[in-house]
Amino acid sequence: MAAVDQVHGMRRFISLIVFCAALTGCAGTPFSWESARKVKLGMTTKQVVEIMGQPTSATWRDNDTQVYVWVDSNAFTGVKSFSVHFTNRKATSVPPIPDGY
């Protein structure tokens, strides 16, 4: 009986570890390259956020340039990032997304 309890206890422990690993395996703001391709120069910060979701970070580079960065980290698919520069709340720098992505 004690051996059966140990096996059940071990299974629960392993299940808990797998569950926690799955939760910590994802971070950032999930986004798709398809969505990122929709972002165009001249779009407002609001329009870009509607397409991409809230950025992982938003920082000021100069007095008038803000950089929004989206990072999607997943234990199964790896890490991808996308950034847009805004001046006066309009996109002024949008990286091209290759077709293979």
Which stretches in the chain have pLDDT values below 70?
Answer: 1-26
**Closest by CA position to 83, among listed 47, 48, 50, 34:** 48
Instruction: Please report the pLDDT score of residue 63 as a whole number.
Output: 83
The whole-angstrom separation of Cα 101 and Cα 99 is 5
Q: How far apart are CA 30 and CA 42, in angstroms?
A: 23
Instruction: Write down the pLDDT at residue 1.
Output: 53
> Three-state SS for 25?
coil
pLDDT at position 24? 43
Instruction: Report the amino acid identity of residue 83.
Output: S
* pLDDT of amino acid 8: 46
pTM for this model (two decimals) = 0.71
pLDDT at 12: 59
What letter would DSSP give residue 5?
Answer: H
